[in-house]
Chain A
Amino acid sequence: MTDLSNAPDAALLVAYANGDPDAATVLTRRLLPKVLGQATRMLNDRAEAEDVAQEAMIRLWKVAPDWRQDEAKVSTWLYRVVANLCTDRLRKRRGNVGLDQIAEVDDGNPSAARELQSKRRVFALKYALAQLPERQAQAVALRHLEGLSNPEIAEIMDITVTAVENLTARGKRSLIVLLAEQKAELGFEDDTT
């Protein structure tokens, strides 16, 4: 068997399209954790994140025969696909789920109060993120949840670096306004994190 473990993503994708039986396994083990992580951080819902991750990977398999190695990085392409799939789901979720509902679900969980508070904070952030305009939400998530650089985000979103800076700045301002009302509820007034 050919050692594919060090092959670049694009080369593996071409090998997959040419019928190599091992390329998909190597690509999946390499890319799926990143894809699932991005979806989970954006959606804060494991089941939904797994659905998004599976859908993103299906799109990758389907695009493989037409992939041109010199056009884009596979990881960049996947970031874009996952961001778009998550944004669609966040849009549908808007207004349907509130912090109270999550609190009720977690009330039945005997975990420590601190862990519960952490979950509620993260959920509050994702919930607020879902209220932002799509492009702002994407830029903020890629910058502050995925830790990507502005040039990387510019490539993923197909916009200029300046536009990325504007989107993230506006997005953060909006998030602060949205979260300000919940500061006490999230334990930030008596918590010196």
Chain B
Amino acid sequence: MTQPDDQLLASLFDEARSENVEPSDDLLTRVLADADECQPKASSVSAAKASFWDRLLSGVGGWPALSGVTAAGVAGLWIGLTPPDVVDDWVANAMGNTTSVSFVDDFAGFDEVTLDG
């Protein structure tokens, strides 16, 4: 191998590198159309992320069943907060009156225990 041959090759590489290449508008359009076609759609992305909840919901019977559970929970909370008189009377008859007894006077926040009377 001679030095002039190396120079010949270097000269050819220089010429090849100097080619100016800019994407045409047509190529840009095609590539962006491909990108749009290949892009995971928002619905499939959220579906993949929600698969755990889907499985959880299907285990309890889906959204209709969950709405029933929710309604029952809300009703229970409301009854617990504002029990009608008839409920108080029924509880007193069935379980007796309640009495509060303090075991640890200076243990703030944990000072009362409810026992059956």
Q: When the two chains form their complex, are residues A125 and B38 in contact, meaning their CB atoms are under 8 A apart?
A: no
A176 within 8 A of B: yes
* Number of residue pairs spanning A and B whose beta carbons lie under 8 angstroms apart: 105
What is the number of residues of chain B that contact chain A, defined by CB distance less than 8 Å?
A: 30
Report the bound CA distance from A183 to B41 in whole Å. Answer: 56
For the complex formed, measure the closest distance between the CB of B46 and the CB atoms of chain A, giving whole angstroms: 9
A35 to chain B, nearest CB (A): 9
A65, B45: Cα distance in complex, Å: 10
In the bound complex, residues from chain B placing their C-beta under 8 Å from that of A77 are none
Structural contact, A24 and B32, CB atoms closer than 8 A: yes
B23 touches A36 (CB 8 A): yes
Q: Does B31 contact A (CB under 8 A)?
A: yes
Given A58-B34, A121-B12, A175-B9, A19-B24 contact (CB < 8 Å): no
Which parts of B57-85 form the interface with A (CB within 8 Å)? none
B102 within 8 A of A: no
**19 further A-B pairs in the complex, CB-CB below 8 A; given A17-B45, A57-B34:** A17-B39, A18-B40, A18-B45, A19-B40, A25-B32, A28-B35, A36-B23, A40-B19, A41-B16, A41-B17, A53-B31, A58-B38, A147-B17, A175-B9, A176-B1, A176-B6, A183-B8, A188-B8, A188-B11
